[in-house]
Amino acid sequence: MNNNEIKISKEKRDEMISAIKTYFSKERDEELGDLAALLILDFFIEKLAPEFYNQGVYDSYNYMIDRIEDLLAIQK
């Protein structure tokens, strides 16, 4: 397993597959099986999730920089 791979519990993966199936049913009037929904989920995890993760890391970094500057402001 690749160290950069996003790990998701079986329970969370099952919830995501269910959400994908529900979305396709309600929004696109298409019925997906578990395999099709799993393939879509795997695509999103592999191709799109790293961008969201990286944005979260960047946002956290900026937040911490702001807090560090606040801490330095209380110097005497």
What are the tens digits of pLDDT across the range 42-54?
A: 999 999 999 999 9
- Residue 3: inside a domain: no
| Residue 4 confidence (pLDDT) | 67
Q: At what angle do helices 10-28 and 34-43 cross, to 10 degrees?
A: 100
- pTM, two decimals, is 0.74
- Residue 1: inside a domain: no
CA distances to 19, 22, 23, 68 from 26, rounded to whole Å, are: 10, 6, 5, 46
| Residue 71 confidence (pLDDT) | 82
Number of domains in the chain: 1
| Residue 1 confidence (pLDDT) | 41
- Residue 5: inside a domain: no
| Residue 3 confidence (pLDDT) | 54
- Residue 4: inside a domain: no
- Residue 51: inside a domain: yes
Domain membership of residue 53 as a residue range: 10-72
